[in-house]
Chain A
Amino acid sequence: DSGVTQTPKHLITATGQRVTLRCSPRSGDLSVYWYQQSLDQGLQFLIHYYNGEERAKGNILERFSAQQFPDLHSELNLSSLELGDSALYFCASSESRFRSYGEQYFGPGTRLTVT
């Protein structure tokens, strides 16, 4: 158990809908990263938050957004869902300070299926 929790574990929804994925980092970790894992694209970095502020963006679509709250949990919002958004979404946390050198610990993931 990495100490990172994600809910829900599975999510099935229809095209055009909006969903919210939730992540709680390990106790004391200030950084949260979101990744998407799909068969064709592999593991892709989406976005990084540090202590409530966005730090880096990767291959995140404009239909997707995220935030990190004062209690350090994070939510990833996916809207206008398309079939191609079906994937495993992972969050990871790190005990990084300003420069995130540290190793990242992953949650169990949320499997999103868009029908």
Chain B
Amino acid sequence: GEDVEQSLFLSVREGDSSVINCTYTDSSSTYLYWYKQEPGAGLQLLTYIFSNMDMKQDQRLTVLLNKKDKHLSLRIADTQTGDSAIYFCAESTPRDSGNTPLVFGKGTRLSVIA
């Protein structure tokens, strides 16, 4: 079945860039997502990318997709203490039945040091 892998921890200094990486196995994945979860909160959709794109930029966030290597990354520029959270990579695949539940990685805990 589908699998999504992420490193568990990342620590960066305030003002630096953070890069969170993700690999996935399902070659038919069409949509790839990044979600943010702050302590005690739900999942906030940050951004998403379609598999026909290589890059997507949204303010401080840059998503890069290497479809050949099935590698997705999220770069956060000028990382702030408010960016400290768990970041989840997720993928979805279209099916004839029309059902594409999200498959999540285990999440990367980003700690930002002031």
> Which partner residue on chain B sits nearest A109 by CB separation?
B42
- Decide: A100 and B100 in contact? CB cutoff 8 A: yes
Q: Mark A79-107, 1 if CB is under 8 A from B, else 0.
A: 00000000000101000101111011111
Name A99's closest neighbour in chain B (CB-CB).
B98
Which residues in B have their C-beta under 8 angstroms from that of A55? 97-99
For the complex, count residues of B whose C-beta is within 8 A of A.
24
Report which of B30, B35, B92, B107 forms a contact with A42, defined as CB distance below 8 A: B107
Contacts of B41 in A (CB 8 A): 108-109
Partner of A104 from the list B94, B97, B98, B102 (CB cut-off 8 Å) is B102
User: A56 contacts which chain B residues (CB < 8 A)?
Assistant: 97, 99, 101
Which residues on the A side are within 8 Å of B97 (C-beta)?
Answer: 55-56
**Complex Cα–Cα for A56 and B100 (A):** 8
Q: Output the nearest chain A residue to B33 by Cβ-Cβ distance.
A: A103
Q: Is the CB of A2 within 8 A of B100?
A: no
A101-B31, A103-B45, A103-B48 are contacts. A42–B101 as well, Cβ < 8 Å? no
Selected contact of A90 from candidates B43, B92, B100, CB within 8 Å:
B43
Q: Which A positions have Cβ atoms within 8 angstroms of B? A: 2, 33, 35, 42-43, 45, 48, 50, 55-56, 58, 90, 92, 96, 98-101, 103-109
Q: What are 23 A-B residue pairs whose CB atoms fall within 8 Å in the complex?
A: A33-B102, A35-B102, A42-B107, A43-B102, A45-B103, A48-B99, A48-B101, A50-B98, A56-B101, A90-B42, A92-B43, A100-B98, A100-B99, A100-B100, A101-B92, A101-B94, A103-B31, A103-B48, A104-B102, A106-B44, A108-B42, A109-B41, A109-B42
